[in-house]
């Protein structure tokens, strides 16, 4: 699992800036190396010369010496949708935590819109327009649905808006109504988050995200535990965020059919490294991915 | 509320609850103390119930207001009003300083750091540095520097008004700030701090605002307490004092509008009146097995407290809701459970 | 406003009662002192009113307020009593209580007779405040009497670094330092539980006299440490003898310590003491260190009321009646010094014989009231 | 909605059932979560418990285990369980792998397994044979295992003792497709010797294991019958489970590895 | 030199006393997540029971200690069964219930035996002194250290070697799941409470030796240092608590002696604050 080459040189020689072809780090393990044939320019990928929304270089994180994410480098272009797959424990959530600043990177660099944010705290990154959801629903259980959206709207108005202790809290009526409409939660506006069904909680997570209108959205298994019945609506919602609003989205998901309909590119993680990053078709065709992730068809 | 407004003019005896009529100085003093503690608990709940911060050192800011005001008069010769402003200023500044340090850690670590600071403050006061604090003896407030209308038993009603004003101020301030944009963030922090961060807000600053506000309110409480008790004593700074605030808040129901007030008043009333009960003739006549425990006010308070914890989870403020739930619950149980799960 | 107690007069059959309020520790850390005080007060009232409980037919009514050792509670209690028309307050087991209740008494112009509280500051605090017990200075003078000629001798004070300890150090410096002794101090934090290093430090100072001013729960640990570090072999050790329950705490060192003493049951051998002992024993208790403080307080109260024809309404007159009054008390001849309301009284040098539960005190020497009189303090306000 | 008439079809009659649940009701904090669940677990093979999100599947299983207050009749191999505390229910011979896996994150894999030992001869051979990974990682803290490995621990614990019934609640939740397939294999093997009560959202998985099924809706049993029959009946499946045997959402042109996503 | 030796020996003795109290607290706090404010009360019960058995009961010292520890253990079991067990689903109320007990028990002791210190029996064989490199160290300090060392060993064996340790560690993470493995977790928790209570009562009994007297507030006043030690050591780590105890005892003893105003307590709380600011999870880095 350890990668001596990258440990010695945390930022591998990367293709020149603006190269539309995603960088796939070579791994030391020849068995799992079999790199995906460098994909053709992908729809939505950054045009040559433009600064990518997100750029990772040699990003890594280890806990007590054990590497959990190793040497991940890639660029995400404006308006792109990248889906992450990989076996359990591959490091997908950990990678999202590194990008959003929940964990400090052990080595490597994270750039958002060309600015180096590697050492910035969570809230500073969020203020730059980086929004995310969590693998297990992370909500304010004692607050109502509308309150969630209001708080998010307030936060989006900048931190100073929240320090106005002498003012009455604004209602943000228009924004709240819009967002709840869009996420089909309007009828639950006054329900406590703890009383929502699983699928509704997932929608609420998205609502909180949407109202703050982030440039880059990280979604961690938004469909986990959602019953088959609710999957299509949620999928449609995510699609509209991506397509209609033109947001850049990174998403981890095990539901293959969902992400195949959404993703421009597919990233495969394995043992903390980026095994492949390419068009869905190319990735699905790859035997290494088949072995590592999909297994025999069920 | 209306009862609180007419209290000083009333000669109504309230047997059992109060010793003497409602308007007598002794009763007014006790009610005023109840109001002050009710307000202190309400301010403390800004941390505990509203922002989810368990501070074990809140008494420090109370004691700072108390001692700083007293010492400003005694040592610096400030007139009362200036000294009071100085006292509130000191406690606010101290809360800002220590809050900015202790809020760097979270969870039980935060509780313990606040405890450590408060313990240090308590030790300093006990140690009588430079003979200033009076050590275990405390310092009496100088009557000549206090306004004449606040000195003497015939002016107890004025002290009562001040206590009531302090309570109203605290209630209003807590209510106002809780419904301000900052209050909304506090609520978010209480429920899930990480999630607030992900929205782009740094919880630290908001927690500090709550901490400083609560510290300043506690300092103001110290000033009122100084007027009521005519002096500063080291008991005010002990960790027991913070623990008492915690007990009050929980007794009443944390995070509710009236709960902490209720809890603070009830606790204070019990602490004072249980002594009388413990010393009453009725108990002196009991056989030793009953008499010995019942003659200890702290024993009564402790047992009462345990009883409340068991019988009234959620505190006094949850009582009406519980009664309602019990009523409708039994009614619903009688019907078929058609509505089902939500 | 507070309606006075002047309603009824001597004309009608039953005369209006005189109300006296006691604010003292019924519970809390000083409850044992408080109990002695109360027992003494009842005995003193009985004695001074010759068993009638009344002065000139005016019954003396006692109301009690518990302060639990907390000045804030004491002030509330005092205010309650004053508000109910009490013009005489007595009590204060703890110095902090005395120091904070006295100003309240002065503000409301009522008589206040402080009890066992030993702080020197109470003397001369204001013109409404008197005391019925001894003060630290009298303790120190008694301790000084052990050293004989102090010139050129070395005295070390082993005390806790509290207001009580600091006051003792200051008093020793004032008394013995003035007589030519060199005085130094070993101060231990009040919260320190392991006192071995301080005992060893006190021994290393090699004083001619080691004065120990100690209060609180660690007393037993301190005496054990002093024995273990073998301080008694090289130095004369003086300390105050507290209530009877504390005798066993000195452990095996008991017989080697020279005690200064305010009072113990049987110390004085006076007629009044006999009366007090009888009365207290009849009530099922035993006279102890602070029983005389209660007894004396009752004597002062009754005298003040007597001098005013059974009324307590004119506080200034009550004060005038007490100032300079000299009378036979439990410990012998007592005088309320007019200048600062100090209570001049004899003190005792005491030895313990036997140790542990068997320790019994005996008086070695009685020091007259003049020998131990504190310097005159200026009355404030 | 579906009424109280329960169509009982196919095999799985109540007579020879190993576990018989009748009129199970659960009320938590005044909320009526289950109001009348009936369920039979056949003495062999897999019995699937199906239903939409929030139908009450997990609650039913927890009620059987005694983890939530319940009323009604729960008879297991002739013993009434409804009055028993959880640990005694388990000692009747029931192994339970809960929905959230119930791994003790702070304990090692070996300690997690050791905790589950109940009788003298724990079947470590069987467990290690099924999941060689657990043997290799026995010293690792369970909290650092990947989701799939944690699921292996959870299932392994149920196999350690000579249980007469194994209850697995959504053993595939959050698992990568490859692991889902592996878990299906394991359960199929287990079911050869011990009956399994399986709660599952993934219909492909259920179809693969076959056996009888019960479908819950709104805290009640809405259907009992054979799994294959139910899944073959498009209308019934749509009515009871909200889905038919449909194509993947999103209309991707890529040939998806079948219905893992369901 | 002899002063330093004396300070080290007495500091370790004090640390041993802290450990006797903190170990039980750490066990209960760390393993069961119960912030036990009644721990000081258990200590006082142990101390008074020992004192009572020794003086009124006329037992020798060691039988009295055994008796005191047994009664303290019994009290702990009662506390767990009657007050803590019904509140396992309400952790905050558990804390509050123990606060109530912490108030009531010392008051009860005061009511029965008075607020004053009672002299504690000092067996002659333990009241002597030992000469170490020129310092005269009270012998009972070494008794405390030995007791602390034995306790540490026993607790580590209990936690590491027996199934109970495992059950409790797992039970803290997820009580329901432990029962779902067929284990009667309540019995294990009662046992842990009993052990914690036994340690506290033993601390009380030997603390009487240390102080030479008992009084009702003794346990409560030591409790705050026990909390400090538990937090510094990293909640739930008995070894961490041992290290922290020794550190706190030494720091306190040295600071008391060498700083002018005797800043022992102050330096301990400052130490705690600094440690937590640098390492929020305490010495051993385990989280509650
Ligand atoms: N402890 C509880 N308190 C309140 N409501 C509960 C509790 N446990 C479950 N519920 C509610 O009961 C209903 C049934 O829950 P349950 O977890 O049994 O559903 P499920 O069928 O397992 O759903 P899923 O497919 O999402 O796992 C849900 O609406 C849930 O919100
Ligand atoms: N704090 C931690 N300490 C030790 N190991 C950790 C820590 N956090 C994560 N890991 C380990 O790192 C690996 C990657 O975890 P991560 O949650 O990123 O996986 P994932 O790809 O999101 O998996 P899944 O699909 O199951 O959610 C796992 O083996 C996990 O056990
Ligand atoms: Mg993940
Ligand atoms: Mg479920």
Distance from CA of B95 to the nearest CA of D (A): 37
Write the pLDDT tens digit of every residue in C155-170.
999 998 888 888 889 8
Could you say which of A197, A213, A229 is where a domain stops? Answer: A213
Exposed/middle/buried for residue B190 (C-beta within 10 Å: 0-12, 13-18, 19+): buried
Do A184 and A250 share a domain, yes or no?
Answer: no
* pLDDT at residue C55 tops 60: yes
Query: What is the rounded average pLDDT of the residues C134-154?
Result: 88
Across-strand partners of A277?
A267
Instruction: Give the range among A187-196, B321-330, C64-73 with minimum mean pLDDT.
Output: B321-330
Residue contact B309–E108, C-beta within 8 A: no
Q: Give the pLDDT band of residue B17 (cuts 50, 70, 90).
A: low
**Structural domain of A113:** 4-129+215-292
Q: What percent of chain B has pLDDT over 70?
A: 88
Least confident of B16-20, C204-208, C215-219, E3-7: B16-20
Whether B116 sits inside 8 A of E272 (CB atoms) is yes
> For E78-131, what is each residue's pLDDT tens digit?
988 888 888 877 777 787 788 888 888 888 888 888 777 787 777 777 777 778
Chains C and A touch (3+ CB pairs under 8 A): no
- pLDDT tens digits, residue range A80-130? 999 998 887 788 989 999 999 988 899 999 999 889 999 999 889 988 989
Rounded to whole angstroms, the Cα distance separating B318 from B297 reads: 26
Neighbours of chain C (3+ CB pairs under 8 A): B, E
- Indicate the burial class of B77 (C-beta count within 10 angstroms; 0-12, 13-18, 19 or more): exposed
Per DSSP, the three-state class of D218 is coil
CB contact under 8 A, E180 and D107: no
| Inter-chain touch A126–B199, beta carbons under 8 Å | yes
**What pLDDT was estimated at residue B3?**
67
Mean pLDDT of chain A: 78
Do A and D touch (≥3 CB pairs < 8 Å)?
Answer: yes
Residue B327, pLDDT score? 72
Q: What is the pLDDT of residue B7?
A: 66
> What is the Å distance from ligand 2's center to A66 Cα?
11
* Tens of pLDDT, residues A71-82: 999 999 998 999
Chain D residues inside the 8 Å CB shell of E181: 87, 90, 115-116, 118, 157
**Distance between alpha carbon B7 and the CA centroid of its chain, in Å?**
21
Q: What pLDDT score does B264 carry?
A: 92
Amino acid A33: pLDDT: 37
C335 shares contact with chain E (CB less than 8 Å): no
- The full DSSP string for C139-159 is HHHHHHGGGSS-TT-EEEEEE
Tell me the percentage of chain A whose pLDDT exceeds 90.
21
Atom of ligand 1 nearest to the CA of B342: 29
Residue A31 scores a pLDDT above 50: no
- Tens of pLDDT, residues B65-106: 999 999 999 999 999 999 999 999 999 999 999 999 889 888
Q: Touching check for B112 and chain E: CB below 8 Å? A: yes
Q: What is the mean pLDDT of residues C189-213?
A: 86
Q: Is D58 close to ligand 1, i.e. is its CB under 6 Å away?
A: yes
Mean pLDDT in residue range E55-83: 88
Mutate to test the pocket of ligand 1, among D24, D39, D57 (most ligand atoms within 8 A of CB): D57
Residues in D touching B341 (Cβ below 8 Å): 31-33, 54, 56, 218-219
Q: Are A96 and A221 in the same domain?
A: yes
Tens digits of per-residue pLDDT, D51-65?
887 788 888 999 999
Q: pLDDT at residue B31 above 70?
A: yes
pLDDT tens across A227-262, in order? 777 788 888 888 888 888 888 999 998 888 788 888
* End-to-end Cα separation, chain B, in angstroms: 38
Interface test with E, best of B124, B130, B299 (most E CBs within 10 A): B299
Q: What is the pLDDT of residue D249?
A: 38
DSSP character for A186? G
E-contacting chains (≥3 CB pairs under 8 Å)? B, C, D
The pLDDT of D230-238, averaged and rounded, is: 80
Above 60 in pLDDT, residue A37?
Answer: no
- Atom number, ligand 1, closest to the C-alpha of residue B341: 29
Average pLDDT estimate for D186-195: 86
Q: Is position A270 within any domain?
A: yes
pLDDT digits (tens, 9 = 90+) for B188-205: 999 888 888 888 899 999
Chains with at least 3 CB pairs less than 8 angstroms from chain A: B, D
Q: What is the pLDDT of residue B67?
A: 96
Chain B partners of E277 at a C-beta cutoff of 8 Å?
101, 104-105, 113
Q: In this structure, are A80 and A97 located in the same domain? A: yes
Give me the pLDDT at residue C112, please.
Answer: 95
| Interval between CA D65 and ligand 3 midpoint (Å) | 29
Q: How far apart are CA C168 and CA C174, in angstroms?
A: 10
Nearest to C31 by CA among B304, B29, B297, E207: B297
Contact E276 B292 (CB under 8 A): no
CB-nearest to E99 from B104, B117, B247 is: B247
pLDDT digits (tens, 9 = 90+) for C287-343: 999 999 999 999 999 999 999 888 888 999 999 999 999 999 999 999 999 999 999
* CB contact A133 to D (< 8 Å): no
Between B and E, how many residue pairs show a Cβ–Cβ distance under 8 A?
110
Over 60: is that where the pLDDT of E76 sits? yes
List, for residues E25-47, the tens digit of each pLDDT value.
Answer: 888 877 777 778 888 899 999 99
Q: What mean pLDDT value characterizes chain C?
A: 88
pLDDT of residue D129: 83
pLDDT at position D62, please? 92
Q: Is D30 in the pocket of ligand 1 (CB under 6 A)?
A: no
Q: How far apart are the C-alpha atoms of A94 and A100, rounded to whole Å?
A: 10
Asked if residue D260 lies in contact with residue A293, where contact means CB atoms within 8 angstroms, the answer is no
Kindly state whether residues A183 and A274 are assigned to the same domain: no
Atom of ligand 1 nearest to the CA of D52: 25
DSSP state of A292: I
The answer to whether residues A95 and A176 belong to one domain is: no
With CB atoms and an 8 Å threshold, state whether E122 touches C251.
yes
B341 lines ligand 1 (CB under 6 A): yes
Using the Cα atoms of residue C141, residue C146, residue C152 and residue C154 in order, give the sign of their dihedral: negative
| CB-based contact E180:D86 (threshold 8 Å) | yes
- Is residue B103 domain-resident? yes
Q: Which domains does chain D have, with CATH numbers?
A: 19-256 (3.40.50.300)
User: In chain D, which residue's Cα lies nearest the Cα of A255?
Assistant: D261
Of E163, E177, E183, the CB nearest to D98: E177
Give the DSSP H/E element, type plus range, for residue D204.
helix D203-209
Q: Is B201 on the interface with A (CB under 8 A)?
A: yes
Helix (H, G, I), strand (E, B) or coil at E128: coil
Which pLDDT score, from 0 to 100, does residue D181 have? 83
Of residues C185 and A87, more confidence is placed in C185
Identify which has the larger pLDDT, E218 or E1: E218
Contacts of A131 (CB under 8 A, 6+ apart): A209, A212, A214, A216, A217, A218, B198
User: What is the reported pLDDT for B187?
Assistant: 92
**Any idea how long chain E is?**
288
pLDDT at residue A54 in the model: 92
Q: B117 and E111: CB-CB below 8 Å?
A: no
pLDDT tens per residue, range D91-122: 999 999 988 788 898 889 999 999 988 877 88
Q: Closest-CA residue in chain B for A159?
A: B201
Q: Which one is predicted more confidently, A109 or B297?
A: A109
Q: ipTM for the complex?
A: 0.81
Question: d(Cα C188, Cα A52) in Å, to the nearest integer?
Answer: 68
Report pLDDT for E262: 60
Interface residue B195 vs chain A (CB under 8 A): yes
Domain hosting B188: range is 21-239
Please report, for residues C120, C164, C245, the alpha-carbon distance to residue C137 in angstroms, rounded to integers and kept in the order given.
Answer: 7, 12, 24
Where residue A84 sits, what CATH number does that domain have? Answer: 3.40.50.300
Are residues A63 and A201 both part of a single domain?
no
pLDDT, chain B, mean: 84
The radius of gyration computed from the CA coordinates of chain B, to the nearest angstrom, equals 22
Tell which atom from ligand 2 comes closest to the C-alpha of D176: 25
For residue D193, pLDDT over 90 is answered with no
C-alpha torsion angle, residues C18, C19, C20, C26 (rounded to 10): 140
Range of weakest confidence among B146-150, B265-269, D40-44: B146-150
pLDDT of B146 higher than 60: yes
- Flag whether E touches B (3+ CB pairs, 8 A cutoff): yes
Q: Which residue, A158, A180, A213, sits at the end of a domain?
A: A213
Closest to C149 in 3D by CA, of C227, C209, C88, C83: C209
Which ligand is nearest to the Cα of residue D60, counting in written order? Answer: 1
Of all protein residues, whose CA lies closest to atom 30 belonging to ligand 1? D54
Q: Do residue A29 and residue A44 come from a single domain?
A: yes
- In 3D space, the residue among D229, D251, D249, D254 whose CA is nearest the CA of residue D240 turns out to be D229
Q: How far apart are CA D46 and CA D187, in angstroms?
A: 9
Rounded Cα distance between C126 and D177, Å, is 89
Give the model's pLDDT for residue C381: 60
Q: What is the pLDDT of residue B16?
A: 61
pLDDT of residue D207: 86
The whole-number pLDDT of residue A46 equals 43
A233 shares a domain with A103: yes
Model confidence over C106-121: pLDDT tens digits?
989 999 999 999 889 8
Number of independent structural domains in chain B = 1
pLDDT at C102 over 50: yes
Give yes or no for residue A93 CB within 6 A of ligand 2: yes
Residue bearing the bigger pLDDT, C365 or B3:
C365
Return residues with CB closer than 5 A to ligand 3 (ion): A 93, 135
Closest ligand relative to D137 C-alpha: 2
């Amino acid at each position: 699992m350890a990668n001596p080459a990258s440990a010695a040189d945390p930022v591998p020689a990367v293709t020149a800036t603006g190269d539309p072809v995603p960088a796939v780090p070579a791994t030391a393990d020849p068995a799992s190396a079999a790199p995906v044939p460098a994909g053709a320019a992908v729809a939505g990928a950054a045009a040559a010369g433009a600064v990518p929304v997100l750029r990772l270089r040699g990003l890594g994180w280890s806990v007590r010496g054990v590497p959990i994410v190793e040497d991940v480098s890639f660029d995400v272009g404006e308006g792109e949708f990248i889906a992450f797959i990989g076996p359990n424990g591959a490091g997908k959530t950990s990678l999202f935590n590194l990008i959003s600043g929940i964990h400090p990177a052990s080595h490597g660099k994270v750039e958002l819109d060309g600015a180096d944010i590697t050492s910035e705290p969570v809230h500073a990154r969020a203020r730059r327009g980086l929004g995310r959801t969590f693998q297990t629903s992370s909500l304010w259980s004692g607050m109502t649905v509308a309150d969630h959206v209001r708080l998010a709207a307030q936060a989006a108005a900048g931190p100073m808006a929240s320090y106005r202790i002498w003012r009455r809290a604004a209602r943000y009526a228009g924004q709240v109504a819009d967002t709840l409409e869009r996420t089909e939660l309007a009828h639950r506006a006054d329900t406590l988050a703890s009383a929502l069904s699983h699928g509704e909680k997932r929608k609420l997570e998205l609502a909180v995200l949407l109202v703050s209108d982030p440039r880059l959205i990280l979604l961690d298994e938004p469909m986990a535990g959602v019953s088959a019945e609710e999957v299509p609506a949620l999928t449609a919602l995510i699609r509209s965020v991506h397509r209609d609003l033109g947001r850049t989205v990174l998403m981890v998901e095990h539901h293959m059919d969902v992400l195949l309909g959404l993703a421009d590119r597919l990233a495969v993680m394995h043992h903390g490294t980026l095994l492949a990053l390419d068009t869905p078709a190319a990735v699905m065709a790859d035997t290494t991915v088949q072995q590592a992730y999909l297994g025999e068809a069920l | 509320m209306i009862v609180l407004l007419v209290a000083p003019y009333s000669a109504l005896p309230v047997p059992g609850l109060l010793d003497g009529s409602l308007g007598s100085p002794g009763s007014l003093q006790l009610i005023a103390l109840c109001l002050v503690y009710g307000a202190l608990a309400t301010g403390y709940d800004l941390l505990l119930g509203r922002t989810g911060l368990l501070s074990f050192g809140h008494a420090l800011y109370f004691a700072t207001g108390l001692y700083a005001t007293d010492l400003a008069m005694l040592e610096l010769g400030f007139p009362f009003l200036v000294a009071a402003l100085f006292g509130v200023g000191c406690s606010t500044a101290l809360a800002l300083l220590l809050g900015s340090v202790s809020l760097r850690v979270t969870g039980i670590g935060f509780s313990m750091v606040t405890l450590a600071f408060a313990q240090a403050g308590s030790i300093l006061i006990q140690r009588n540095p430079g003979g200033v604090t009076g050590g275990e003896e405390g310092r009496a407030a100088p009557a000549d520097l206090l306004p004449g209308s606040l000195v003497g038993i015939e002016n107890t009603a004025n002290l009562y008004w001040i206590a009531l004003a302090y309570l109203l101020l605290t209630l209003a301030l807590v209510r106002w700030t809780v419904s301000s944009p900052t209050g909304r963030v506090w609520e978010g922090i209480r429920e899930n701090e990480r999630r607030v961060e992900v929205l782009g807000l740094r919880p630290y600053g908001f927690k500090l605002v709550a901490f400083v506000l609560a510290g300043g309110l506690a300092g103001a409480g110290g000033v009122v307490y100084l007027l009521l008790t005519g002096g500063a004593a080291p008991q005010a700074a002990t960790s027991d004092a913070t623990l008492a605030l915690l007990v009050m808040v929980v007794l009443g129901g944390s995070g509710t509008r009236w709960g902490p007030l209720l809890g603070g008043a009830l606790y204070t009333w019990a602490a004072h009146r249980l002594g009388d009960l413990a010393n009453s003739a009725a108990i002196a006549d009991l056989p030793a097995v009953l008499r010995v425990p019942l003659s200890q006010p702290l024993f009564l308070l402790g047992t009462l407290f345990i009883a409340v914890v068991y019988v009234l989870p959620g505190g006094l403020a949850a009582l009406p809701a519980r009664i309602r739930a019990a009523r409708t619950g039994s009614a619903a149980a009688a019907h078929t459970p058609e509505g089902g799960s939500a | 406003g507070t309606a006075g107690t002047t309603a009824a007069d001597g004309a009608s059959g039953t005369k209006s009662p005189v109300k006296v309020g006691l604010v003292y520790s019924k519970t809390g850390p000083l409850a044992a002192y408080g109990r002695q005080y109360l027992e003494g007060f009842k005995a003193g009232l009985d004695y001074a009113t010759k068993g009638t409980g009344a002065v000139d037919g005016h019954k003396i009514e006692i109301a009690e307020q518990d302060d639990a050792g907390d000045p804030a509670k004491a002030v509330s209690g005092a205010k309650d009593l004053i508000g109910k028309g009490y013009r005489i307050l007595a009590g204060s087991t703890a110095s902090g209580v005395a120091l904070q209740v006295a100003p309240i008494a002065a503000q409301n112009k009522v008589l206040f007779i402080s009890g066992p509280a030993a702080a020197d500051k109470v003397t001369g605090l204001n013109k409404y405040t008197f005391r019925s017990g001894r003060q630290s200075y009298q303790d120190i003078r008694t301790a000084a009497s052990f050293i004989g000629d102090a010139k050129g001798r070395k005295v070390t004070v082993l005390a806790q670094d509290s207001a009580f300890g600091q006051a003792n150090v200051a008093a020793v410096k004032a008394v013995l330092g003035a007589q030519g002794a060199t005085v130094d101090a070993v101060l231990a934090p009040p919260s320190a539980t392991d006192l071995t290093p301080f005992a060893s430090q006190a021994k290393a100072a090699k004083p001619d006299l080691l004065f120990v001013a100690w209060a609180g729960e660690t007393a037993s640990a301190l005496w054990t440490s002093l024995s273990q570090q073998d301080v008694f072999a090289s130095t004369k050790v003086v300390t105050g003898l507290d209530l009877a329950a504390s005798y066993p705490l000195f452990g095996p060192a008991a017989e080697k310590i020279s005690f200064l003493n305010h009072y113990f049951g049987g110390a004085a051998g006076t007629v009044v003491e006999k009366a007090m002992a009888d009365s207290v024993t009849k009530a099922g208790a035993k006279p102890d260190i602070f029983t005389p403080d209660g007894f004396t307080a009752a004597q002062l109260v009754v005298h003040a009321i007597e001098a005013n024809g059974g009324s307590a309404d004119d506080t200034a007159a009550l004060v005038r009646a007490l100032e300079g009054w000299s009378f036979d008390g439990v410990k012998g001849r007592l005088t309320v010094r007019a200048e600062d309301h100090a209570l001049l009284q004899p003190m005792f040098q005491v030895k313990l014989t036997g140790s542990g539960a068997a320790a019994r005190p005996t008086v070695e020497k009685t020091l007259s009231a003049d020998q131990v009189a504190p310097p005159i303090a200026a009355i404030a306000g | 909605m579906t009424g109280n008439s329960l169509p009982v079809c196919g095999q799985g009659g109540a007579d020879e059932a190993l576990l018989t649940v009748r009129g199970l009701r659960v009320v938590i904090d005044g909320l009526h979560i289950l109001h009348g669940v009936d369920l039979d677990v056949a003495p062999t093979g897999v019995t699937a418990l199906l239903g939409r999100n929030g139908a009450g599947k997990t609650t039913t299983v927890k009620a059987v285990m005694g983890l939530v207050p319940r009323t009604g009749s729960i008879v297991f191999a002739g013993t009434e369980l409804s009055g028993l505390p959880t640990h005694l229910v388990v000692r009747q011979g029931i192994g339970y792998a809960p929905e959230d896996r119930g791994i003790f994150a702070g304990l090692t894999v070996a300690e997690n397994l050791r905790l589950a030992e109940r009788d003298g001869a724990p079947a470590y051979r069987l467990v290690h044979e099924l999941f060689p990974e657990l043997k290799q990682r026995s010293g690792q803290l369970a909290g650092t295992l990947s989701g799939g490995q944690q699921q292996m621990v959870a299932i392994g614990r149920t196999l350690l003792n000579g249980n007469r019934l194994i209850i697995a609640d959504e053993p595939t939740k959050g698992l990568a497709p490859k692991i889902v397939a592996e878990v299906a294999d394991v359960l199929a093997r287990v079911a050869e010797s011990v009956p399994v009560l399986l709660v599952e959202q993934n219909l492909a998985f259920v179809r693969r294991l076959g056996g009888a099924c019960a479908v819950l809706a709104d805290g009640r049993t809405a259907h009992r019958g054979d799994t294959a029959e139910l899944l073959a009946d498009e209308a019934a499946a749509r009515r009871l489970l909200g889905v038919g045997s449909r194509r993947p959402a999103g209309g991707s042109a890529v040939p998806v590895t079948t219905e893992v996503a369901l | 030199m002899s002063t330093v030796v004396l300070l080290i020996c007495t500091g370790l003795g004090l640390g041993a006393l802290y450990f006797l109290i903190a170990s039980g607290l750490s066990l209960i706090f760390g393993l069961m997540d119960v912030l036990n404010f009644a721990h000081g009360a258990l200590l006082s019960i142990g101390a008074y029971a020992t004192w009572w058995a020794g003086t009124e009961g006329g037992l020798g010292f060691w039988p009295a200690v055994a008796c005191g520890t047994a009664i303290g253990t019994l009290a702990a079991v009662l506390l767990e069964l009657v007050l803590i067990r019904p509140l396992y689903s309400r952790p905050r109320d558990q804390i509050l219930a123990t606060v109530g007990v912490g108030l009531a028990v010392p008051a009860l002791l005061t009511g029965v035996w008075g607020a004053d210190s009672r002299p504690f029996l000092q067996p002659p064989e333990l009241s002597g002194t030992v000469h170490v490199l020129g310092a005269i160290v009270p012998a009972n300090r070494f008794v405390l250290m030995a007791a602390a060392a034995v306790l540490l060993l026993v607790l580590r064996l209990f936690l590491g070697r027996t199934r109970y340790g495992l059950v409790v560690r797992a039970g803290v993470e997820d009580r329901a799941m432990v029962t779902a493995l067929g284990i009667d977790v309540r019995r294990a928790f009662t046992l842990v409470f009993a052990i914690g209570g036994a340690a506290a009562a033993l601390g009380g009994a030997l603390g009487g030796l240390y102080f030479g007297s008992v009084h009702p507030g003794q346990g409560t006043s030591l409790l705050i240092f026990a909390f400090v030690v538990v937090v510094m050591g990293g909640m739930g780590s008995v070894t961490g608590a041992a290290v922290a105890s020794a550190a706190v005892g030494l720091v306190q003893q040295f600071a008391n002696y060498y700083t002018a105003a005797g800043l022992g307590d102050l330096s301990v709380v400052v130490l705690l604050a600094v440690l937590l600011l640098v390492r929020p999870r305490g010495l051993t880095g385990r989280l509650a």
